[in-house]
Each structure stands twice: as structure tokens, then as C-alpha cells.
Structure 1
Amino acid sequence: MSTPKHKHLKYEDRFVIQEFLNLNHTFTAIAIRIDKDRRCVSKEVLKHRILKPARAKRDPDCPKTAKPPYVCNGCDSKDRCQKNQYRYDAAVAQSEYEITLRR
């Protein structure tokens, strides 16, 4: 039996994604919770992550953001890290999504 195809994420789904990322859950765990495919969660995070520029001059890119979960939401050292940081914020993601709907 296949699951229903809900094509759009709601704000509640995005909020769950944010909270689960903050708790270091995998895309699979998030996908199960919101009843979506894990690729959908991955694409959502990559599409709507926000860059917080680095304070460091040398090697500003954190290697952790090159692989899942692609964001620093659940990283223990995010407050003292001096590299580029990507964050996922549900409210920002929802407003970006609503802008694309209006076009």
C-alpha cells in the first residue's frame, strides 16, 4: 500500500523539520514523522537553508555542511564556530515558499 502523495509541506511540517534537526535526528526519522520521503526532507533543507557568514578568514567552509544534514542546527559547537554556518528556520522557509506560490 502506498502512502498518499501530499505535494506541499505545511508550516507544521517545516517546524517539525527544524526541531528534529535541532535534536540531530536523521532525514529518515524526520520523514517518518511528517509522512514524507526522506529525499523531500533533504531537498527542503538544502533549498531553504540560510547562510550565516564566517568570521574566519582562512578555510571558511565547514566540512559538516557538505553532507547530511547540511545545516548546523544540531551542532554542539555552533555557538563558538568561526566557519560558514547554515541554519534551517521553518518560518523563513515557509515565507520563501509562499513567495514562490505568488509568482
Structure 2
Amino acid sequence: MSKHKHLTMEDRQRIMQKLNAECSFRKIAKDLGKSPTTISQEVKQNRTVQCSGAYGWPYNPCRHRRNCQERLLCGKLYCRKTNCAYCQQGCSPRCPSFELEDCPKLEKPPYVCNGCQTRNKCTLVATA
């Protein structure tokens, strides 16, 4: 293991590539000659959060988004969406039954969405 405390930008890019390839912290650490703890801390400290939603779906962190029946929370009388869960306006701040749902996968390694099998369908917070 290297005694150097700092990771270079090249190391960080390599970590991102390895996370995209679904490599473990242990494998990444071995490849870089660093401690798995160093890799874990680096990922946790430098991950970025995006509230973008999935392709074709708005960001919606509500626990009830899959079977929500709320309509017209945006105030538009003739909203084209079938219900508020699909609206770009965002039902979350207006909905009386809103409950925040955090992705449980972000609480355990690798702490990011890189390599996640459901990433393309997820409407929760995305991290990289």
C-alpha cells in the first residue's frame, strides 16, 4: 500500500471508471495501490448529487410515486398528465401525502449510482 495520502485526478478518474464497471472498493484499491478505506472515503466525500429523474421521467422522490392518484396539484385546470407523479412541475412540495424516499443503495458501498442495474429507470436522487 502506498503511504501517499492524496489521490491524483488520474486516480479519481480511474475510480469512476472502475465504479462504472461495477468493481469493488477492494479491487479498485488493489489496482491503485491504496487502502480500500481510502477509496471508500474518497467516493463518499466527492460524490455529486443530481435530481434529474430517469429518461423520460421527472425527478420524483415520493414513496408513493408508483401508485399515486393525485391530480391537478399544479393548479392547472387542464393538465395533460394523467396524474401528478408524472408532471415536470413536481408534485412533491404540494402533495399532502408526500413522503420522501431515499435510495437504500446509496447507504452502502459503493454509495453511488455508477454501475446500478436500475439506474436508467430510477426517479430518485442520482449520485456519481
Is the TM-score greater than 0.5? yes
Q: Name the TM-score, length of structure 1 as normaliser.
A: 0.76
CA drift of 1:79 comes to 1.9
Residue of structure 2 in register with 1:67 after alignment: 108
User: Which sections of structure 1, spanning at least 5 residues, go unmatched?
Assistant: 88-103
Q: Which amino acid aligns with 1:62?
A: C
Alignment correspondent of 2:117: 76
Corresponding residue to 1:51 among 46, 49, 52: 49
Q: CA deviation at 1:78?
A: 1.1
CA change 1:25–1:58 in 2 (3 A) is same
Q: Which amino acid aligns with 1:17?
A: I
| Residue 5 of structure 2 is aligned to residue 7 of structure 1 | yes
Task: Decide which structure has the larger Cα Rg and report it.
Answer: 2
* Structure 2 counterpart of 1:29: 27
The 3 A distance-change label for structure 1 pair 11 and 58 is same
Deviation (angstroms), 1:58: 1.0
Go from structure 1 to structure 2 and tell me whether the alpha carbon gap of 1:22 and 1:57 turns closer, same or farther (over 3 Å shift). Answer: closer
Report runs of 4+ in structure 1 exceeding 2 Å deviation.
Answer: none
Offset at residue 9 of structure 1 (A): 0.4
Percent identity, aligned pairs only, is 39
Structure 2 unaligned blocks of 5 or more: 54-58, 64-100
1:43-83 CA-to-partner distances (Å, cap 9, x unmatched) read 00000001112511413311100100000011122122111
Please report the RMSD computed on the Cα atoms of aligned residues, expressed in angstroms: 1.3
SS at match of 1:75: coil
Figure out how many residues of one structure are paired with residues of the other and give that number: 85
Contact 2:15/2:28, CA 8 A, preserved across alignment: yes
